[in-house]
């Protein structure tokens, strides 16, 4: 199925580059269509020379190789309790993955907590499969150029089952509201030896650290771009990374201490991000430099 999608993309890419035979009118129309498409349909990254390369990478994304790994891990009977993850409820019922990740984080009645994808995975892998939580946390973020971690592959597979579904984070439950407000508070909270909060880099459109684009995460559009594209293949690391990894790396650059894996701090920021990004169709794996 993946192969088919990739092929389809390649086909479209190829047909796009072949000029229509000798007909200047057709060429003009094609040019017009491509201008309209570039302006209207592609997100912010269609603006400069760097974006051309990024777009090409997105269309041939090595991250897709991790989806099959994640799928195999999901259905495999594993762990001290010898269970698969088919009974794991990501919010739409046990094993129902279609569109489920697009609605995370959300409140779960069984744990009485708001959980994002990664914390929900920890819940299921400990409760259903009997894995030890501390070991899962320790191995969740893999070494660069490794085969990646189980959680990275699982997170990608589960999110890929929401591809095409618009992000739809609800704040109906009081705990979801509280989580969102906490995330908003944390986004603007400055501390450390560099006085950084998230907003210092992600508060305005069209900003960069050196050549790296920074998404404006207080805006609908900026948050959509980010919320819909994790987990993502990170080119410089040759592995698939999750949103928790992204937060860790931000916190590292902010000169803050080590961020523990999947705490409420991360869930709150993720709730704020994804809620702000509501409406964007999920498209994973994303591709990051």
Partner 1 sequence: MHTPQPNYPLNPPLKHQNHQLRLALFGLSLCLLLSACGYPDANTTRELAERMVLEAFSGSPTHLKRIEQDPSQQLCSRINNAPISAADASTVLETARASIQYPASGVLMGDWKIGDTLAHDGAGDRIRNGKTEATTRNGGLCQNCHGLAPGEINVGNLGPSLTGYGKLRGTDPAIVKYTYDKIYNAWSVMPCSNMPRLGATGHLTPTQISHLVAYLLDQKSPINQ
Contact indicator for 132, 122 with CB cutoff of 8 Å = no
The region that residue 35 occupies, defined by phi over 0 for left and psi between -120 and 50 for alpha, beta otherwise, is: alpha
Where are the extended beta strands (E) located within 75-215? Answer: 106-108, 113-115, 207-209, 212-214
- Quick note: the x/- pattern for partner 1 over 233-272, rule CB under 8 A, is -------------------xx-xxxxxx--xxxx-x----
Interface residue with partner 1 among 221, 235, 237, 250 (CB under 8 A) is 221
Q: Does 82 bind partner 1 (CB under 8 A)?
A: no
Number of neighbouring beta carbons within 10 Å of residue 165: 19
Nearer residue to partner 1 within complex by CB, 57 or 256: 256
Does 54 bind partner 1 (CB under 8 A)? Our answer is no
244 in Cβ contact with 153 (< 8 Å)? no
Q: Does 25 bind partner 1 (CB under 8 A)?
A: no
In the complex with partner 1, which residue's Cβ is closer, 128 or 282?
282
Among 199, 235, 237, 250, binds partner 1 (CB under 8 A): 199
Q: Is 250 part of the annotated catalytic residue set?
A: yes
Q: Which is nearer to partner 1, 11 or 255 (CB)?
A: 255
CA separation, residue 205 to residues 102, 153, 185, 195, 220 (Å): 25, 32, 20, 21, 11
The number of residues that bind partner 1 (CB under 8 A) is 58
* CB 168 within 8 Å of CB 103: yes
Q: How far apart are CA 30 and CA 146, in angstroms?
A: 43
Residue ranges binding partner 1 (CB under 8 A): 98-99, 102, 163-166, 168, 174, 177-178, 181-182, 184-186, 188-197, 199-201, 203, 206-212, 214, 218, 220-221, 224, 252-253, 255-260, 263-266, 268, 279-281
- Catalytic residue IDs: 250
């Amino acid at each position: 199925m993946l192969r088919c999608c990739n092929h389809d993309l390649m086909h479209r890419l190829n047909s796009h580059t072949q000029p229509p035979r000798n007909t200047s009118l057709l060429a003009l129309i094609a040019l017009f269509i491509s201008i309209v498409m570039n302006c209207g349909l592609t997100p912010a990254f269609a603006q400069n020379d760097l974006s051309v390369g990024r777009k090409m990478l997105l269309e041939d994304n090595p991250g897709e190789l991790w989806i099959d790994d994640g799928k195999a891990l999901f259905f495999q009977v594993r762990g001290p309790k010898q269970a698969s993850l088919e009974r794991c409820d990501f919010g739409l019922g046990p094993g129902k993955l279609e569109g489920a990740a697009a609605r995370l984080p959300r409140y779960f009645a069984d744990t009485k907590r708001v959980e994002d994808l990664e914390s929900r995975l920890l819940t299921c892998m400990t409760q259903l499969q009997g894995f030890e939580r501390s070991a899962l946390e320790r191995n969740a973020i893999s070494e660069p150029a490794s085969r990646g971690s189980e959680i990275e592959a699982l997170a990608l597979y589960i999110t890929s089952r929401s591809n095409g579904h618009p992000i739809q984070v609800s704040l109906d439950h009081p705990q979801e509201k509280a989580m969102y407000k906490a995330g908003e508070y944390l986004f603007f909270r400055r501390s450390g030896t560099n006085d950084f909060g998230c907003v210092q880099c992600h508060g305005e459109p069209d900003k960069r650290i050196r050549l790296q684009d920074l998404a404006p995460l207080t805006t609908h559009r900026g948050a959509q771009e980010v919320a819909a594209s994790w987990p993502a293949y990170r080119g410089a690391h040759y592995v698939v990374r999750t949103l928790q990894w992204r937060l860790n790396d931000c916190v590292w650059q902010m000169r803050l201490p080590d961020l523990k894996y999947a705490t409420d701090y991360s869930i709150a920021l993720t709730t704020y991000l994804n809620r702000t990004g509501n409406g964007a169709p999920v498209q994973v794996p994303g591709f990051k430099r």
